[in-house]
A = this chain, B = another copy of it.
Amino acid sequence: MSEARRHLDQAEALCRERGVRLTPQRRTVLRLICEAERPLSAYEILDRMHQGARRPAPPTVYRALDFLLQQGLIHKIESLHAFVGCKHPQHPHTGQFLVCTDCGRVNEIHGRPLEDGLQQAARQAGFHTRKPVVELLGTCAHCHGRDC
């Protein structure tokens, strides 16, 4: 089964469990994000939504994105204004990302020491973190040392 397909099925199941509706529109947006091999901007998604038919207006895609973000099915990469599928939507979490500026691909990483370090640094300042944004921009292993 394809990676994208697995994501969609899992999302379907999660939404059923949670009693929220993964409508066709939302499903389409999620599918487009999962099928892409790099983050898509809202307007790239819009462009891919109108297969023959008329292109929907921006609020359409932004509303679907809001829903998917709330459900933890996708993440937003702030420094790219773009969206990627979440690799582990079962338990809601924030992501840390390795963003390759050569090939455009994004890797979601996890690491106790990393997350602990962040939490500790925040706590030292009496700060309560609600939404960490951690995006390392650079060159991935694949692209490093070659033209891309």
Shortest Cβ distance from residue A101 to the other chain B in the assembled complex, whole angstroms: 7
Nearest CB in chain B to that of A101: its residue? B130
Which B residues touch A114, using CB under 8 A?
Answer: 117-118, 120-121
Which B residues touch A136, using CB under 8 A?
Answer: 118, 121-122, 127, 129, 131-133
Give a binary string over A24-66; 1 marks a CB under 8 Å from any B CB, 0 the rest. Answer: 0000000000000000000000000000000000000000000
Shortest Cβ distance from residue A72 to the other chain B in the assembled complex, whole angstroms: 16
Which B residues touch A79, using CB under 8 A?
Answer: 78, 133
Q: Which chain A residues have a beta carbon within 8 Å of chain B's beta carbons?
A: 78-79, 96, 98, 100-101, 107, 109, 111, 113-114, 116-118, 120-122, 124-141, 144
